[in-house]
Structure 1
Amino acid sequence: MDFHRFYETWYEQLHHQIRHLTKAPRPPTTDDHHQQLTQHVNKVMFHFSEFYRVKSLAANQDVLSIFSARWCTTLERSLHWIAGWRPTTAFHLIYTESSILFESRIVDILHGLRTGDLGDLSPAQFTRVSELQCETVQQENAITDQLSEWQQDEAIELVSGTCGDLDKKIERLTKIVEKADELRLRTLKAVVELLTPQQAAEFLIAAAQLHFGIHKWGLNHDRERSQK
Structure 2
Amino acid sequence: MATTGTGTTNFTAFYNTWSDQLHQLLRQLCSAPKPPTTQDHIHHLNHLVNKLLSHYSEYYRVKAAAVERDVLDIFAAPWASSLEKSLHWIAGWRPTTVFHLVYTESSILFESHIVDILRGVRTGDLGDLSPSQFRRVSELQCETVKEENAITDELSEWQHSVSDLMGACTDVDQMIGRLARVVQKADDLRLKTLKRMADLLTPQQAVEFFIAAAELQFGIREWGKNQDRQRDFYPSG
Report the equivalent of 1:153: 161
Q: Distance in 1 between matches of 2:169 and 2:107?
A: 52
Q: Distance in 2 between matches of 1:104 and 1:28?
A: 19
Calculate the TM-score normalised by the size of structure 2: 0.94
User: How far is 1:155 from its partner?
Assistant: 2.8
Report the equivalent of 1:103: 111
| 1:204 corresponds to 2:210 | yes
Q: Distance in 1 between matches of 2:221 and 2:81?
A: 7
Report the equivalent of 1:137: 145
- SS of match in other structure, 1:86: coil
| 1:191 corresponds to 2:176 | no
Superimposed CA distance per residue, residues 125-148 of structure 1 (whole angstroms, 9 cap, x where no aligned partner): 000111111111110110001100
- SS of match in other structure, 2:57: helix
One-letter code aligned to 1:53: R
User: How far is 1:156 from its partner?
Assistant: 4.7
How large is the Cα RMSD of the aligned pairs?
A: 0.9
Q: Distance in 1 between matches of 2:102 and 2:65?
A: 30
Q: Distance in 1 between matches of 2:163 and 2:113?
A: 54
- SS of match in other structure, 1:10: helix
Report the equivalent of 2:181: 175
One-letter code aligned to 1:62: D
User: How far is 1:157 from its partner?
Assistant: 4.0
One-letter code aligned to 1:215: R
| 1:227 corresponds to 2:227 | no
Task: Detail structure 1 runs of 4+ shifted over 3 Å in the superposition.
Answer: none
Q: Distance in 2 between matches of 1:24 and 1:134?
A: 32
User: How far is 1:170 from its partner?
Assistant: 1.0
Name the % identity.
63
Q: Distance in 2 between matches of 1:155 and 1:224?
A: 38
Calculate the TM-score normalised by the size of structure 1: 0.97
Report the equivalent of 1:91: 99
One-letter code aligned to 1:54: V
Q: Distance in 2 between matches of 1:38 and 1:18?
A: 14
Match of 1:46 among 42, 45, 54: 54
Aligned length: 226
Report the equivalent of 1:118: 126
- Please list every run of 5 or more consecutive structure 2 residues that lacks an aligned counterpart in the other structure: none
Is the 2:165–2:172 Cα contact (8 Å) retained in structure 1?
no
Superimposed CA distance per residue, residues 87-109 of structure 1 (whole angstroms, 9 cap, x where no aligned partner): 00000000000000000000000
